[in-house]
Amino acid sequence: MKLFFNPASPYARKVMVVAHECGLAEQIERIAIGLTPVNPNDDLNTDNPLGKIPALVLDNGSSLYDSRVIAEYLDTRGEGGLYPQAGDSRWQALRRQACADGICDAAILARYEGLVRPEEKRWSGWTDAQKNKFRRALAALEAECPEFADTTDIGTLSVAIALDYIDFRYADEAWREACPSLAAWHSEFGNRDSLRNTMPADLKA
């Protein structure tokens, strides 16, 4: 399998975390590409018309995107057991994944506003609204993280990845002071091999 990815992308990292959890990481050839919303890549566009990473090209030549689809495919193929099959725990895991992905969506949109958009067109109200989204989501996770207990599933893995992304791109964000329970959980959960082995290089201790 061939994965279009970028080492800084939390969505691409989620795919690799799941691949590690499922014992499939060695079967994935990673193709790193630099990408912004206005910097298309023709090879990627062939396999994902949306031009987004991650995209996974299977051995039969067909492709899968986005991270949620790829992660569930790998879990099924590798029997990872990261998706509770029924009941409340399934919807909780999927909702936590959505919350974590939403944190990354907002953090990336706020980042692109300052990095990619021409200076004269930047809108601080937009940036602030995106930051408020991820701050509200972090506060909600702080309230529910006592329920995480020892759960390792697509929800808790996605939350850990989102927190690492905030550390990576928003080093000044004092989320640990605002969310002490979440911080304590993150510091323990982050020791999993799948998370340590996929940490963006700039964040490694």
Q: Which of 57, 108 has the CB closer to ligand BEZ? A: 108
Looking at 1, 3, 9, 21, which residue binds ligand BEZ (CB under 6 A)?
Answer: 9
Name residues contacting ligand BEZ, limited to 101-140 (CB under 6 A). Answer: 108, 111
**Interacting residues of 139 by C-beta distance below 8 A, sequence separation 6+:** 178, 179
Name residues contacting ligand BEZ, limited to 169-188 (CB under 6 A). Answer: 169
Residue 20 binding ligand BEZ, by CB under 6 A: no
Q: Which of 8, 55 has the CB closer to ligand BEZ? A: 8
Q: Pick from 95, 106, 104: which is nearest to 153 by CA?
A: 95
Looking at 1, 3, 8, 70, which residue binds ligand BEZ (CB under 6 A)?
Answer: 8
Q: State the nearest-atom distance from the C-beta of 200 to ligand BEZ, in Å.
A: 9
Local structure of 160: helix, strand or coil: helix
Local structure of 204: helix, strand or coil: coil
Residue 162 binding ligand BEZ, by CB under 6 A: no
**Interacting residues of 104 by C-beta distance below 8 A, sequence separation 6+:** 10, 11, 161, 162, 165
| CB contact at 8 A, 190 and 164 | yes
User: Which residues sit at the interface with ligand BEZ, rule CB under 6 A?
Assistant: 6, 8-9, 35, 108, 111, 169
